[in-house]
Structure 1
């Protein structure tokens, strides 16, 4: 893209365009917008360096965050798109890029904090990427990480239950460890967590449905008690319907730009319909 066009764009406008592409689950468009964001901030960076070399101040460009944030976000969003399209190796390469942003430019205290935040996101998302790819040997390590970082437990459980459904893993021991956090209907959480909760509940419903089939409907052991898998399906179906209503009420938009937890607006209706189908299959009315 020509520099004259890049100069007419603002990073925060491109971020809004990225959010829109994610909401519509248009991953090719996400890739395109992420590349545009990277080129835009690179152009700003080069212009700053050019003025600095001349010993004169660069023209002021209003941006809401440090420049390093937009570098990191461009790599993160590109990685998300690669992951959604099943391009695991490319997603790994993007993870490496936003995990190490410290050499991007001269950073002040705020910039260094942004670098640390992206490094943490990269660690979470690397676990998510590898576990979703079937690396079960990392599961215990990831669980320990979640116990050390309780703010990530919901994102982590969503990843783990989704991988368990896909790869047919037994994860009752994981669910037992997070029993206290799982309790409740999810509606008391911050709105940014509702999306993760409805995804977790949906995947948990699929997991319990599969467990019910593999145990012949005898139920599963959970938290030391014999709990009916059907009861859990009914419980989580109810939660999903509850939370989907909240998400739909704010437009179905709920991504904090984390690879393992983004939600597109089109997914709301899909999950709502599919969860209802599961409930009907096991004879539950909600």
Structure 2
């Protein structure tokens, strides 16, 4: 079971949620609700799972509701990170019918998308159970939604590669090409990094790995290597720094990749290819 994942701070969530609500409400608000629902109407509804999965996104959904109406109650029964089954109640809402109906789609959009990411992550994590490897997501996220999508990965039991260009140095093949050699690129990065910034470098071959081992980067990304080469790479590194496998990772290959002894396995699909989890809002 995933440990408690704290909600993102409102100061992080607010711009994301505000944009989503503004996109839906446009210039005139919720015309259908305004036309059909008297202002004093109240209702109770439940957010319910319609497929097996893992819940995420309740922090964003809760803020969306509060930004519409702080008086509507939201009682969570299946928290972020918990498994959900068809028919299972995730949360109960009670209050102004107008407010609930206006917030409904934005709440479900966040929860469906983010629960889909958490569900796919949980599948990958379960495939490597028993190994010491960890599943990590990448920067292949929906523009503007990186914070919520990376939290959803955590809700599914995964963890994160760097959040952006500004929190770690990651030397990739085009950096190496622009520098002229892999050794020169790594030397420059290590000289620049100081003592608190992590430096990771991508290698495509065992020859490249052999070249950079004496320089002792903090981590190496073993890109698109066969499992035999991954095993040899782990042997060559010998625990001197962190190893990460990337490329060709899917639900069918991830267990064998984990068996090679790498420390981390990065999976871009967690955030760029996850399907929405089907959740509904039903009158109680």
Name the larger-Rg structure: 2
> Which is richer in strand?
2
Larger RCO (alpha carbons 8 Å, 6+ apart): 2
TM over 0.5: no
- Which structure features the higher share of helix residues? 1
TM-score by length of 2: 0.30
TM-score (norm 1): 0.30
